[in-house]
Amino acid sequence: MLNKRKSAFTLAEILVTLMIIGVISVLTIPGLQQNAQVQANVAAAKKAYSTVSNATKELKTAKGPIRFWDMSSAKTIADMYKERVNINPYDIESYPIKNVDGSSGDSSSLFGQNNSFMSADGMYFFITGISSTCTGDGANTCFRVNVDTNASKGPNKIGYDLVSFVVTPEGVIPAGTPQPSSGSDAGNGSDSGTTDTAPSGGWDKTVQIITEGKISW
């Protein structure tokens, strides 16, 4: 009988294969991790939008049209939302935030005004930009609800884990959604122009996160 040899990988071949696998991992894993984080931020933003929208609808049913709500202070509005959101009785301490371009953001409107609360699922909600006449932002804004979707964990960056929703007489829209300019009637078609609804820093990216389901900046 002929002597048959069993073929096997040499040590050199195994090492080369492991090196190739290692290079591929280095090149692909960071991208996969980044994409996973982006999708997590998008999902959290959509969840925050749903939370604010549903709570606002419930408040409209209980208290009537939005423009007739008591908007005397951010605390008053925050207290109304606390009745409709499952909250965590946790005191929110201030922390620095970043604008969408990475520069230092203005967190003065978020903290220290009894205008915030934490939901049971770990989101921070901040009531800002109140206009009792619903003419804020040069449009039909009654107030804004800014949300940090993962509390203070980071990156605490506007347009990523920090998003904003605008409450108008008609309901809730993502910040950055064009709406009728102040003085026009959004309900009868007599629109005298549109204006952006978001303050500076990147809050206007919220509408792209919600409608496009991606963060590409």
- How far, in Å, CA of 127 to CA of 146, rounded? 6
What's the domain range around 118?
21-212
Condensed to tens digits (0 to 9), the pLDDT of residues 113-134 reads 689 999 999 999 999 999 999 9
Condensed to tens digits (0 to 9), the pLDDT of residues 186-204 reads 433 334 455 555 667 899 9
Asked if residue 1 belongs to a domain, the reply is no
Asked if residue 7 belongs to a domain, the reply is no
Name 38's bridge partners.
Answer: none
∠ Cα 184 65 47 (to 5°)? 95
Asked if residue 122 belongs to a domain, the reply is yes
What is residue 145's predicted lDDT score, i.e. its pLDDT? Answer: 97
Asked if residue 16 belongs to a domain, the reply is no
User: For the chain, how many structural domains are there in total?
Assistant: 1
Asked if residue 180 belongs to a domain, the reply is yes
Asked if residue 6 belongs to a domain, the reply is no
- Residue ranges for the chain with pLDDT beneath 50: 184-192
What is residue 31's predicted lDDT score, i.e. its pLDDT? Answer: 64
